[in-house]
Structure 1
C-alpha cells in the first residue's frame, strides 16, 4: 500500500511517501521537500560581503551557523588569494559562543516542541507545557545577543573578527544566563545534576530519569522504538576535528570527497527539490551523534557500542550535547581576554579574486559554504546544509540515512517519529 504523510511542526514542511506490506510495516520510504527559495542564486552577482547579510537568512533556526560558515568562506578566500586574515582568540571565542548557543536552543526546542509532543500523541498523552523550555531557549538567545546584537539573523561576524567589544559586565550577564539555563536542564530536562547524568549513561539509568528526557525515552520504549531506527552506521564530522567513522574504520575526513547528487530532484523528474549530500559517493550521518562518536564522549560512545545508531543513542546524543556545551560555553566566557582586539580589518574585498570554503558544525551537522569571487563579486555560491546529509533521498538499493532508519518499522506513524529523531529542517534543505 502507498501512503503519503505531511510532516509539519518542523522548520518548513516535508512529505513522506511510504510503501507498506499487508501488516503495515514500512518496505520503502521516500522524502520530499516541496519548497524552493534559491538562496544560492540570490547571492550570485552581489558583493561578497553581502553573504554576511543574506546567508544568515537561509534558516530561522541556525542563522548564526550560516553566518560563521560565510565568514570562514571569506577568510579562506582571502588566504587563497594571498592576503591571509588574522582573527584574535577573543574574536574566535565570541563566534564560538554564539554558534554553540544556537545548538543548545535548537536541541531544547526539538525536545519539547517536536519529540515529546509527537511521541506523546501516539500514546494519547498530553504533551508537557513548553513555556519553561521556551523561556530557557530565550535566555540562550539573550546570551547570544549580548555579543551578536540580535537573534536571529545577526551579521556581527566579519572577515577579520567580530563587531562587538564586550565589557566585563556583559560577560557576567552571559554567565548568569548560562547558570539559569543549566538549572533548567538539571531540574526539567534531566531531573538530576549534570554530573550524575554523565556518570550513569546506561539504558537502565536513563529510563529511570525523572526529567522530561527520561519521559521521552519511556515513550519510545512503550512504542517499541527504543532499539530501532538503525541506519548505515557511517558518520561524518567536517568541522575543525574532521573525521569519517564507519563500522570498521576511523580516518581523517576531507572536504574534497564531498559531492552533491541532484538525480532525485524535481528538475530531473524525481521526488524532491533537495539535492543529496554524499561523502565518497555514500550517505553519511551528521549531527550530534556523529560529533559524540567523533570526540569519543564516554557515555554516548558506550551506548553506541551496545545499541548502535538506534533511536536511543541518537536522542541521548542530542541531550548529552547540550550538557557538554554548557561546560564549553562557560570555559569560553571565563577565558576571554577582553583586552584583545575584536576586529582586525582585512584589505578591501574589491581587490580579492579566488575561491573560498567555510565549514561549520551546525545544530543538525556539517554545513558547507563555497564561493567563487571575482574582484569582490560573487560569481557562484554553493551551500550544503546538514539536513541534506541525514534526509537525503536515495534509491531502493542505496537509501539515505533517514530512509534506511525507517525501513521495517511497523507503522507509518512510528516511522515518521523515527524520521523526527534526525531533527528535520526543510527550509535549509531547499535553499
Structure 2
C-alpha cells in the first residue's frame, strides 16, 4: 500500500511517501521537500560581504551557523588568494560561544517541542506545555545576543573578527544566564547532575533517569521504537575535526570528496527539491551522534556499542551534547581575554579573487559554504546543509540515512517519529 504523509511541526514542511505491506510494516519510504527558495541563486553577482546578511536568513533556527560558515569561507578566499588575514583568539572564542549557544537552544526546542510532544501524542497522552523550556531557550538566545547583537539572523561576524567588544559586565551576565541554563538541564532535562548522567550512560541506565529526557526514552520504549531507527552506521564530521567513522573504523575526511546528487530532484524527474549530499558517493549521518563518536565521548560510545545507531543512541547524543556544550561555553567565557582586538581590518574585498570553503558543525551536522569570488563579486555559491546528509532521498536499493532508519517500522506513524529523531529542517535544504 502507498500512503503520503505531510510532516509539519518542523522547520518547513516535508512529505513522506510510504510503501507498506498488508500488516502496515514500512517496506520503503521516500522523502520529499516540496518548497524551493533559491538562496544560492540570489547570492550570485552580489558583493561577497552581502552574503553575511543573506545567508543567515537561509534558516530561522541555525542562522548563526550559516553566518560563521560564510565568514570562514570569505576568510578562506583571502588566504587562497595569498592575502594575509588575522583573527584574534578573542574573536574566534566569541564566534564559538555564539555558535554553541545556537546548538544548545536548538537541542532544547527539539527535545520538548518535537520528541516529548510527538511521542506523548502517539501514546494518546496530553503533551506537556513546554513553557519553561521555551523560556530557557530564549535565555540562551539572550546570551548569544550579548555578543551577536540579536538572534536570529545576526551579521556580527566579519572577515577579520567580530563587531562586538564585550565588557566584563556582559561576560558576567553571560555566565549568570549559563548557570540558569545548566540548572534547567540538570533539574528538568536530566533529573540528576551531569556526573550521574554520565554514569547512567556508561552503565546503560538512561531509562531510569527521572527528567524529561528519561520520559522521552520511556515513551519511545512504550511505542516499541526505542531500539529501532538504525541506519548505515556511517558517520561524518567536517568541522574542526574532519573525520569519518564506518562501522567503528576511523579515517580522515577530506571536504573535496563531498558531492551533491540531483538524481532525485524535481528538475531531474524525481520527487524533491533537495539534492543529496554524499561522501565518496555514499550517504553518511552527520550531527550530534557523529560528533560524539568522533570525539569519543565515553557515554555515547558505550551506548553505541550496545544499541548501534538506534533512536536511543541518537536522542541521547543530542542531550549529551547540550551538557558538553554548556561546559565548553563556560570555559570560553572564563578564559576570554577582553584586552585583545575584536576586529583586525583586512584588505578590501574588492581586491580579492579566488575560491573558498567554510565549514562549521551546525545543530544538525556538517554545514558547507563554497564560493568563487571575482574582485569581490560572487560568481558562484554552493551551500550543503546537514539535512541534505541525513534526509537525502536515495533508492530502494541504496536508501538515504533517514530512509533506511524508517524501513521496518511497524507503522507509518512510528516511521514518522523515527524520521523526527534526525531533527528535520526543510528550509535549509531547498535553498
When normalised by structure 1's length, the TM-score is 0.99
- For residue 401 of structure 1, what is the aligned residue in structure 2? 401
2-structure distance, mates of 1:214, 1:252: 35
- For residue 3 of structure 2, what is the aligned residue in structure 1? 3
Q: CA deviation at 1:84?
A: 2.3
Conserved in 2, the CA contact under 8 Å of 1:229 and 1:418?
Answer: yes
- Please tell me the root mean square deviation across aligned C-alpha atoms, in Å: 0.7
Conserved in 2, the CA contact under 8 Å of 1:258 and 1:280?
Answer: yes
Instruction: Give secondary structure in 1 for the equivalent of 2:347.
Output: coil
1-structure distance, mates of 2:203, 2:209: 10
Deviation sequence 1:134-180 (CA, Å, 0-9, x none): 00000000000000000000000000000000000000000000000
Distance 1:41 1:238, change over 3 A: same
Deviation sequence 1:284-319 (CA, Å, 0-9, x none): 000000000000000000000111000000000000
- For residue 89 of structure 1, what is the aligned residue in structure 2? 89
Structure 2: stretches of 5+ with no match in the other structure: none
Matching of residue 108 in structure 1 with residue 85 in structure 2? no
- For residue 60 of structure 1, what is the aligned residue in structure 2? 60
1-structure distance, mates of 2:234, 2:204: 26
Matching of residue 254 in structure 1 with residue 254 in structure 2? yes
Instruction: Give secondary structure in 1 for the equivalent of 2:205.
Output: helix
Instruction: Give secondary structure in 2 for the equivalent of 1:200.
Output: helix
1-structure distance, mates of 2:248, 2:204: 28
2-structure distance, mates of 1:255, 1:12: 28
Structure 1 outlier segments of 4+, above 3 Å: none
Matching of residue 311 in structure 1 with residue 327 in structure 2? no
- For residue 220 of structure 1, what is the aligned residue in structure 2? 220
Alignment of 1:263-412 (within 5 A): 263-412=263-412
Q: CA deviation at 1:102?
A: 0.3
2-structure distance, mates of 1:291, 1:10: 22
Structure 1: stretches of 5+ with no match in the other structure: none
When normalised by structure 2's length, the TM-score is 0.99
Q: CA deviation at 1:205?
A: 2.0
Deviation sequence 1:215-248 (CA, Å, 0-9, x none): 0000000011111100000000000111010015
Conserved in 2, the CA contact under 8 Å of 1:119 and 1:216?
Answer: yes
Q: How many residues are treated as equivalent by the alignment?
A: 431
Q: CA deviation at 1:204?
A: 4.9
Conserved in 2, the CA contact under 8 Å of 1:14 and 1:33?
Answer: yes
Conserved in 2, the CA contact under 8 Å of 1:75 and 1:84?
Answer: no
Q: CA deviation at 1:249?
A: 1.9
